Structure 1
Amino acid sequence: MGGTVVGPGGASILGDLVAFNTVTHQPGLVRPTYLINLEWRGATPTVQLH
């Protein structure tokens, strides 16, 4: 589903981007879940949705 959920400091930004790119063409529910994961980790979302 939307990227791997990990604790703060345990995130792999490159891995997240790869996962994000993998799910962008899936139903819209995936993207909000992914953004929530970013917020929960305290990361700043910089990926622009098209």
Structure 2
Amino acid sequence: MSLAYTPGSRWRNRAEFVNGSAEIVGFLTRTWTREPDYRPAVAARTTMPA
């Protein structure tokens, strides 16, 4: 799963903001520990504001 996210990836999950593949992996690891059935919602975006 971590290969799907680049070091420049930016995520928002409720009130938590994660940046980069390392933080995303950490977020998913913590989340899957608490919520084994968690699945990220995928939103297709063509542009993202800087």
Instruction: Please state which structure has a larger fraction of its residues in strand.
Output: 2
Q: Which has the larger radius of gyration?
A: 2
Q: Taking structure 1 as the reference length, what is the TM-score of the superposition?
A: 0.42
- Relative contact order: is structure 1 or structure 2 higher (C-alpha 8 Å, sep ≥ 6)? 1
Q: Which structure's residues are more often helix, by fraction?
A: 1
* TM-score, scaled to structure 2: 0.42
